[in-house]
Chain A
């Protein structure tokens, strides 16, 4: 039973436009959410996070939105750049889990010039 779901395996976006990656979760105990970016043959790299007490966190071109009632979060990338092409993983954990991350399956983003 997947606790973190990324229902879109892939997304293709034109350079300069907005990329929106979605993530749903089922475990209401999750209180911290993260997005990781992964290039082929590399480990995941932390991108941005959000605590459950917030509904938005912004860092440059990257913004994460959290809708607790819907158990949904999204990552917005504006403007998208070809270098953003990678697999994006949504992850979550909760207090008391010792930081164990539960990952989604990832969404492969392709940004076309």
Chain B
């Protein structure tokens, strides 16, 4: 059974048109992360929520925002997608407080046209 679910798996959006990617989890983990991965590159952390506390990475563009309305759901909003935002977006969860792995969803492949 999938524990971290991302929707949609594939998203095509127009240049400049806002888009939202969603992530849900059944693990009841307190931390949720959003990573961006471009081809042949390392996944790069955009931001994370520790419970309700939002933590933005210093180099994450303002174009990227996130919402976590409850423990189970987290959204990634891209306000004005550019061609350079085309990537795989990965959601992950973990239970902080002990050394443990992060669980990833299957990712959303975003194409900007």
On whether the beta carbons of B41 and A105 are closer than 8 Å, the reply is yes
8 Å CB contact of B99 from A4, A36, A49:
A49
Which residues from chain A contact B6 at a C-beta distance below 8 Å? 43
Which residues from chain B contact A100 at a C-beta distance below 8 Å? 33, 45, 48
Task: Name the interface residues of B36-74: CB closer than 8 Å to any CB of A.
Answer: 40-45, 48, 50, 55
Tell me if A's interface is mostly helix, strand, loop or mixed: loop
Q: Which of B48, B55, B90, B101 has the most CB of A within 10 A?
A: B101
From known contacts A51-B99, A89-B43, infer whether A43 and B33 are also in contact, taking CB-CB under 8 Å. no
User: In the docked arrangement, what's the CA distance between A72 and B19, Å?
Assistant: 40
On whether the beta carbons of A99 and B55 are closer than 8 Å, the reply is no
**Which B residue sits closest to A4, measured CB to CB?**
B42
Whether A59 sits at the interface, judged by CB under 8 Å, is: no
What count of chain B residues pass the 8 Å CB interface test?
29
On whether the beta carbons of B96 and A99 are closer than 8 Å, the reply is yes
User: In the docked arrangement, what's the CA distance between A44 and B92, Å?
Assistant: 9
What distance in Å separates the Cβ of B99 from its nearest Cβ neighbour in chain A? 5
Whether B7 sits at the interface, judged by CB under 8 Å, is: no
**Which A residue sits closest to B93, measured CB to CB?**
A99
On whether the beta carbons of B43 and A98 are closer than 8 Å, the reply is no
8 Å CB contact of B102 from A99, A104, A105:
A99
Which residues from chain A contact B112 at a C-beta distance below 8 Å? none
Whether A9 sits at the interface, judged by CB under 8 Å, is: yes
From known contacts A89-B42, A105-B42, infer whether A42 and B107 are also in contact, taking CB-CB under 8 Å. yes
On whether the beta carbons of B31 and A99 are closer than 8 Å, the reply is yes
What distance in Å separates the Cβ of A85 from its nearest Cβ neighbour in chain B? 17
Which residues from chain B contact A46 at a C-beta distance below 8 Å? 101-103
On whether the beta carbons of B102 and A101 are closer than 8 Å, the reply is yes
B residues sitting closer than 8 Å to A (CB atoms) are: 4, 6, 9, 31, 33, 35, 40-45, 48, 50, 55, 90, 92, 94, 96, 99-107, 109
A sample of 4 more A-B contacts (CB under 8 A), given A100-B33, A101-B92, is A46-B103, A49-B99, A98-B96, A99-B102
A residues sitting closer than 8 Å to B (CB atoms) are: 2, 4, 9, 31-32, 34, 36, 41-46, 49, 51, 89, 98-106
